[in-house]
Structure 1
Amino acid sequence: MGSSNSRRRRMNRDSDRRDDGEETDEGGSDTDLATILSYLIRSGQVQILQSDNLHDEDDDDDDDDCMMPRNTCPVPNFPPDISGLEKSEFKQAMLVQSGQGSHAGEKRKMCIPDMLHKRETGMVKGQTFSHSQRCRLNSPFLPNTKTTVASYHNKAFCGIYSQDGNVFLSACQDQNIRVYDTTLGYFRQTNLIQARDIGWSILDIAFSPDGHHLIYSSWSDNVHLCNLQGDCETHHALNFCPNDGRFCVFSLAFSENSTEILGGANDGCLYIYDTERNDRILKIDAHEDDVNAVAFADESSQILFSGGDDGLCKVWDRRTLSEEQPVPVGILAGHSDGITYIDSKGDARYLISNSKDQCIKLWDVRAFSPSEGQEATRRAVSSQRWDYRWQRVPRRVIRQKCLKGDTSLMTYRGHCVLHTLIRCHFSPAFSTAQRYIYSGCANGTVVIYDTLTGKILSKLEGHNHCVRDVSWHPYDNTIMSTSWDGTLGKWEYKTDAAFSDSDTDSDDGTGPRTKRDRRRRHNRDNQRLCRRPKRFSLLD
């Protein structure tokens, strides 16, 4: 979670502890003060403000270390490079799944009334829309309007939907986990869980796939397991048995059968805990620095993904994994700074990673990076001289070109990763065919990308501080944003908001003034045709 030098700081602290026995009492008190100060800095309770001319002795700092304006998203000075995507199977599969078609004749402009007419007259096979056609019909109606469903007095860190979308969890710096019932589209708080053994804040939470339990982590040796169903509350501390020193699990994930917990920690290790045996069953030394992100590749729960502050994504196969000699199946290199989050597409082939180098990368696990790419990433990460937790983004980060040996399919730029481990996700398969990638942003927005073009389709503005977590409802067209301004935002599509600034008629009241206005009016009429009550769908 820390800067690229956090591993070196830990080594220095370990060295200091070894030397404590040889120091006098006066020296011991100085060490205690340094330890306390280190803790305050690492936890974010104390910030070091760097002087503008701190690096004046460097030769070309005036250009390289110039910072972007505060609360401004970095804008790349080059268009998205889609050459890697054009050569991959990902593009063709995505076009078919999202209803765009794989042939030129199928890419014509969608006309909703025409599609509805064909269905009603029996011209649609099976007299119902296919999944890809439903996703295509839904594509123009991305969420655009925010409703604040909850406000807290502290920073909100995590917010996720359950797999069926009927429950929403939020975790806040006030050490409370709130459980909301969302079955009817409304947010009704049904439970308040007081978290235990919290250092600074709850940093991650996860649902069990069966919906019976949740887990959460913080700066603690234990990950805590709580029940979500039943008359009495259960609260178990799961000891991951780390080595001596301060310990934190930054990222958590449940296996598909809800019996195993995967965690990535600040000691550079991956942990697997078996809830049935009530014991840690695996610990591997995975990264050279903090492990900020972990994920299971698919429902088999045999393939693991991990990402850390060393800038590398690693792929692990549990069937060939040994604690004594942990060797990843492959390594994905291309980021120039630490990784903050990983999300799997769920097919054991593709994943995305969010990074402090201000970009998201799309990966194919069948195309691992060569050794030269891994070394290029290590050099780029070790050369970073800024701290994302309280400094602004240096302009040189935005100008960073593709590293040698980068095997990613696509790079998405336009959001800002600062202050905390900001999350990104694929959009849901049911309603969007995973056509989009969406991410939180340090300037208080939710950014939605088109996976095939790399372009920003929408920026949802409405928060006053960093949006750390985002969660798209698995079936409804709703996005939840969890922000450090202490609020939960619910984003839905509303026609009035979409056309509030474009429904202007001509001054004499005779109608739309331009061809563009007439086109907008036509699109608006198409959307009104598709308006429906909550429980009725034209797409069924």
Structure 2
Amino acid sequence: MGSHSSRRMSDDDSRSSDNDSDSTDLHYAEIIQRLINRYRNGHLSAYTEEYEDTYSGCRVPKIKYTPCVAKLNESDFYFDTSLASGLVSSTRKPIGNNITTMLLNRERSMCSYDRFSRPNKTKISNWFLPNHMEKLDKHDGKVFCGTFSREGNYFITASQDQQIRIYKSDRGVYKLLKTIHARDVGWSIIDVAFSLNQEHFVYSTWSTALHLCSVDGDPEKQIPLCLVNTSRRFCIFSVAFSSDGREILGGANDGFLYIYDTQRNQRSLQIQAHDYDINSVAFADDSSHIIYSGGDDGLLKVWDRRMLGEERNANPVGVLAGHRDGITYVHPRGDSRYLISNSKDQSIKLWDVRVFSSQSAAQNTLRAVYEQTWDYRWQGVPAKLYSKEKLEGDTSIMTYRGHVVTRTLIRCRFSPVETTGQRYIYTGCGVGRLLIYDALTGKVVRELRKHSACVRDVSWHPYNNEILTSSWDKTIGHWYYSCNESDDKERQSAKISASEEKKQNPDVLRRSLRIALKRLRSEDSNSENLE
């Protein structure tokens, strides 16, 4: 509190301060008037680069360092992903660097290595990543989540307007199949998940019960699955189905993991997993034996379902530490070895679950999280969170930076196996962007802006090269690749016109007010020296 408290001034201090403030106000009033005059005369542009990336107090980070890929290049992840995405060939036969070469090789040769294998197809697909958006739908409230079913036949969304919408997806065409009014909604529908057989889905709200529904059945038939009996405020922030559809996993705001057995129609597990809210849970693979959880304590924990009983004080198999703030989302690669986590420390980290963190590393993370004093729901991101320095004991093999995690629990995911070879990691953003990272380099390969508010959830179709984004601007965005020449011509025309304007009028200022003031003071100083 000492840094925020104001000292009591004497009468002399008050008088001198008043005189100084009066002269300062006159000085700035004169500068502002000069700026206004220059703007009216066309010497100062109303457009400023410093604020173009600003939304509700958040700025897009300027990452000025090259991502460190030393550990990544030595990992199995690097080789497996390079092989699956067509960057290298298992036959040691060079793969063409353009479609024409690949087509010619395929037509000229009958050898198996010249035919279009899956890596060949993913390599071609990766040349045409989504770059254009059309609005799929507009809701009456903020869209909190949207995800495809396992086979991509359905897409489901949940919004703050208390409506769940299921779309039938067929070759890039989306048709609204049904709208379901959610029950017992305290503030919003928080999460929704499909069963792997696409027959059921479950949703969570600020309620002590989940609700189970049929995809094709009666929308009024919603089965409540009670998890706790409490009068205090309770919410499951993240839900996931086991591969057989029998169990539903949930992470709650009380720090407990819950599992509900749908066949026995009762809760089968409740364990204290984290000190604070559990924001994300996931099964590592289709075996449903390994469970991941990430919470506001900044830790990722790995659990073995076969070792968890009814005791409330179970221990995890291992802990992954390295984040400096709470974790917002966890997404497994599906091979029970690698996963990614999104965090309020403005980073995505890639982890190998075969390399756990030490107890001291976990304590470093807990200490770093405890020292955070900002509120990500409404405050701007502290500059110190963009530091490239790692916490001592950080066992992650790669860190990705460039997106903004504010307002809500923003999600990130691996791109699909079928179309990309899981070469990319993509995420929403607090300033309305969709970002696609190259998982092998850490660089942003797509920075897509069409939404006017936070993009909370992102979902890549498992077999089509398209992404759907769920945004707080109340819209669902449908992203796909477009080679529209008019867009390219428009961009090129804008670049040429900006260049010509700069040549004709070099005094035009296209930076911030701070830089404009600095330049004017410099001009004043130069003129005084000349006099």
Change (3 A) 1:199 1:232: closer
Match of 1:201 in 2: 188
Match of 1:252 in 2: 239
In 1, the alpha carbon distance for the partners of 2:491 and 2:430 equals: 29
> Does residue 189 in structure 1 map to residue 170 in structure 2?
no
State the secondary structure of the residue aligned to 2:384.
Answer: helix
Match of 1:477 in 2: 465
1:327 counterpart (315, 327, 331): 315
Please say if residues 145 and 157 of structure 2, whose CA atoms lie closer than 8 Å, have aligned partners that are also in contact: yes
Match of 1:96 in 2: 83
Match of 1:235 in 2: 222
In 2, the alpha carbon distance for the partners of 1:195 and 1:303 equals: 30
- Deviation of 1:245 after TM superposition, in Å, equals 1.8
- Deviation of 1:121 after TM superposition, in Å, equals 2.3
Please say if residues 362 and 408 of structure 1, whose CA atoms lie closer than 8 Å, have aligned partners that are also in contact: yes
> Does residue 132 in structure 1 map to residue 119 in structure 2?
yes
In 1, the alpha carbon distance for the partners of 2:282 and 2:355 equals: 18
Letter in 2 for 1:90: F
In 1, the alpha carbon distance for the partners of 2:305 and 2:271 equals: 11
1:481-534, Cα deviation, whole Å (9 max, x unpaired): 100000000000011167445778xx9xxxxxxxxxxxxxxxxxxxxxxxxxxx
1:160 counterpart (147, 166, 180): 147
Match of 1:214 in 2: 201
Match of 1:494 in 2: 482
In 1, the alpha carbon distance for the partners of 2:111 and 2:99 equals: 13
Match of 1:426 in 2: 414
State the secondary structure of the residue aligned to 2:425.
Answer: strand
Match of 1:404 in 2: 392
1:347 counterpart (335, 360, 371): 335
Letter in 1 for 2:147: I
State the secondary structure of the residue aligned to 1:203.
Answer: strand
In 2, the alpha carbon distance for the partners of 1:274 and 1:102 equals: 45
State the secondary structure of the residue aligned to 2:170.
Answer: coil
State the secondary structure of the residue aligned to 1:442.
Answer: coil
Match of 1:370 in 2: 358
Letter in 1 for 2:409: L
1:387 counterpart (371, 375, 387): 375
Match of 1:356 in 2: 344
Match of 2:445 in 1: 457
Change (3 A) 1:198 1:209: same
**Structure 2 gaps, min length 5:** 8-50, 497-531
Letter in 2 for 1:417: V
- Deviation of 1:122 after TM superposition, in Å, equals 2.9
In 2, the alpha carbon distance for the partners of 1:56 and 1:477 equals: 57
- Deviation of 1:322 after TM superposition, in Å, equals 3.4
- Deviation of 1:470 after TM superposition, in Å, equals 0.4
- Deviation of 1:77 after TM superposition, in Å, equals 3.3
Letter in 2 for 1:479: I
State the secondary structure of the residue aligned to 2:124.
Answer: helix
Match of 2:290 in 1: 303
In 1, the alpha carbon distance for the partners of 2:322 and 2:401 equals: 14
State the secondary structure of the residue aligned to 2:173.
Answer: coil
> Does residue 290 in structure 1 map to residue 270 in structure 2?
no
What percent of counterpart residues are identical?
49
Please say if residues 251 and 279 of structure 2, whose CA atoms lie closer than 8 Å, have aligned partners that are also in contact: yes
Letter in 2 for 1:277: R
Please say if residues 159 and 171 of structure 1, whose CA atoms lie closer than 8 Å, have aligned partners that are also in contact: yes
Moved more, 284-293 or 155-164: 155-164
In 2, the alpha carbon distance for the partners of 1:281 and 1:451 equals: 37
Letter in 2 for 1:151: K
In 1, the alpha carbon distance for the partners of 2:119 and 2:489 equals: 30
Letter in 2 for 1:309: D
State the secondary structure of the residue aligned to 2:484.
Answer: helix
Match of 1:435 in 2: 423
Change (3 A) 1:146 1:220: same
In 2, the alpha carbon distance for the partners of 1:56 and 1:123 equals: 82
In 2, the alpha carbon distance for the partners of 1:205 and 1:274 equals: 17
> Does residue 415 in structure 1 map to residue 403 in structure 2?
yes
Letter in 2 for 1:490: H
Match of 1:223 in 2: 210
Moved more, 302-311 or 237-246: 237-246
- Deviation of 1:234 after TM superposition, in Å, equals 2.0
Please say if residues 180 and 219 of structure 2, whose CA atoms lie closer than 8 Å, have aligned partners that are also in contact: no
Moved more, 224-233 or 162-171: 224-233
1:345-380, Cα deviation, whole Å (9 max, x unpaired): 000000000000000000000010111210110110
- Deviation of 1:233 after TM superposition, in Å, equals 4.4
Moved more, 394-403 or 334-343: 394-403
Moved more, 358-367 or 231-240: 231-240
1:7-34, Cα deviation, whole Å (9 max, x unpaired): xxxxxxxxxxxxxxxxxxxxxxxxxxxx
**Structure-to-structure mapping, 1:38-77, within 5 angstroms:** 54=4, 70-77=57-64
Change (3 A) 1:188 1:99: same
Letter in 1 for 2:62: V
- Deviation of 1:153 after TM superposition, in Å, equals 2.4
- Deviation of 1:97 after TM superposition, in Å, equals 1.0
Letter in 2 for 1:297: A
Letter in 1 for 2:122: C
In 1, the alpha carbon distance for the partners of 2:88 and 2:113 equals: 19
Please say if residues 338 and 357 of structure 1, whose CA atoms lie closer than 8 Å, have aligned partners that are also in contact: yes
Letter in 2 for 1:317: D
Match of 1:510 in 2: none
Change (3 A) 1:107 1:169: same
Match of 1:278 in 2: 265
Match of 1:45 in 2: none
Please say if residues 171 and 464 of structure 2, whose CA atoms lie closer than 8 Å, have aligned partners that are also in contact: no
In 2, the alpha carbon distance for the partners of 1:245 and 1:502 equals: 54
- Deviation of 1:242 after TM superposition, in Å, equals 5.2
State the secondary structure of the residue aligned to 2:335.
Answer: coil
Please say if residues 302 and 318 of structure 1, whose CA atoms lie closer than 8 Å, have aligned partners that are also in contact: yes
1:142-173, Cα deviation, whole Å (9 max, x unpaired): 00000001012211111111111111111110
In 1, the alpha carbon distance for the partners of 2:121 and 2:258 equals: 40
1:445-492, Cα deviation, whole Å (9 max, x unpaired): 100000010000001110000000000000001000100000000000
In 2, the alpha carbon distance for the partners of 1:126 and 1:336 equals: 46
Question: What TM-score does the superposition give when structure 2 sets the normalisation length?
Answer: 0.80
- Deviation of 1:139 after TM superposition, in Å, equals 1.1
